Structure 1
Amino acid sequence: MSTSPSTTANRRGLLFVVLAAALVLVGGGLWYAHAAIHSTPAQGHTANDGSEVGVMLDLADKAYQDKHLVAPVGSNVYEFYFSVLQLDPNNAVAQRRLRDAFKPACDVVESTLNGGDLDEAQRELSLLRQYDPHNYKLALLGSVLDAQRIIERRRHEAEAARIQAQQAGGN
């Protein structure tokens, strides 16, 4: 029982045809998926579409480019996207961009804390808590803020005690 050379050649030819057909099907499926994703019209509002939401999205985009994630007050990414969500609660662009900006915004809050501007850090932290009130990173930053407030209060108390001691010694 030997296999003839023509049968082996037929099997190889059949295998080649099956593999080529599989590649064509997979390639076609990928092309179709890619085309479907990129041909889907944008839902809702977009920046510069003239609507209130569009204007807010444009302002938020500019704030993001300028790295104004949580500051200055009234002109930052989070406040603009929160305004978008007040006008259009299901706006996917605003929701996605808030999520994307969250970690860098946490880094800004941490930098503000490290810089010693505790009131500004409190404001920025409150802004981020509106987005995700139960986030562990925000809980940690809140703890750092509380600890720095305690240190600041003790420093002020020590300074007050020193001044009182000076005044008592001078009288």
Structure 2
Amino acid sequence: MSSSVSSPANRRGLLFVVLGALLLLLIGGGFWYAHGHMAGHAAEGHTANDGSEVGVMLDLADKAYQERRLVAPVGSNVYEFYFSVLQLDPNNAVAQRRLRDAFKPACDVVESTINSGDLDEAQRELSLLRQYDSHNYKLALLGSVLDAQRVIERRRHEAEAARIQAQQAGGN
């Protein structure tokens, strides 16, 4: 009978020990996660608004991204800001990741600029993206489209010049 009397007490004690161990595991896991999460941010380097030059540039780049200034205007766009960050901190993971994330939308902007006929601006934007990835096939395609648009524009100008010359020759 003594074993049956001590059994509920043993079970209750065992339950408290198990609950205590689970509580310690949860608390320890929370500390481990928090420490790992903060260490991950520290490993990325500077962050926006941390007061450093890199932090200021990251903040400017974040604002440019939110305003969709990916490759324009000159001096105030995502790519130029992140390139500045990488000049100050060549291994900055935040800048590298965000340049990669902005690449496809920036290519779309260049394509739109070509289609709008602003070929000099498109050339500048394309050159900016080539600084990021000079061997990308999308940039090669955009370069070909830009070259084709320049040929079309040159032919249009030549035709206009020929028309003006013919008009002047006919008027004399």
In the superposition, the TM-score normalised over structure 2's length comes to: 0.78
Q: CA RMSD in A?
A: 1.7
Matched with 1:8 is none
* Structure 2: tracts of 5 or more residues without a match: 1-25
State the secondary structure of the residue aligned to 1:42: helix
Q: Which runs of 4+ in 1 moved over 3 A?
A: none
CA distance in 1, matches of 2:115, 2:93: 33
State the secondary structure of the residue aligned to 2:42: coil
CA offsets, 1:126-150, max 9 Å, x none? 0000000000000000000000000
State the secondary structure of the residue aligned to 1:46: coil
Shift of 1:42: 1.9
Report the number of matched residues: 141
Matched with 2:20 is none
Matched with 2:86 is 85
CA offsets, 1:65-109, max 9 Å, x none? 000000000000000000000000000000000000000000000
CA distance in 2, matches of 1:39, 1:51: 19
Matched with 2:50 is 49
Using the aligned pairs only, state the percent identity: 87
CA offsets, 1:20-72, max 9 Å, x none? xxxxxxxx9xx79x927524242211110100000000000000000000000
Matched with 1:129 is 130
Matched with 2:13 is none
The code of the aligned residue for 2:42 comes to A
CA distance in 2, matches of 1:150, 1:37: 56
The code of the aligned residue for 1:103 comes to K
Matched with 2:71 is 70
The code of the aligned residue for 2:87 comes to Q
Q: Whose helix proportion is higher, 1 or 2?
A: 2
In the superposition, the TM-score normalised over structure 1's length comes to: 0.79
CA distance in 1, matches of 2:140, 2:114: 14
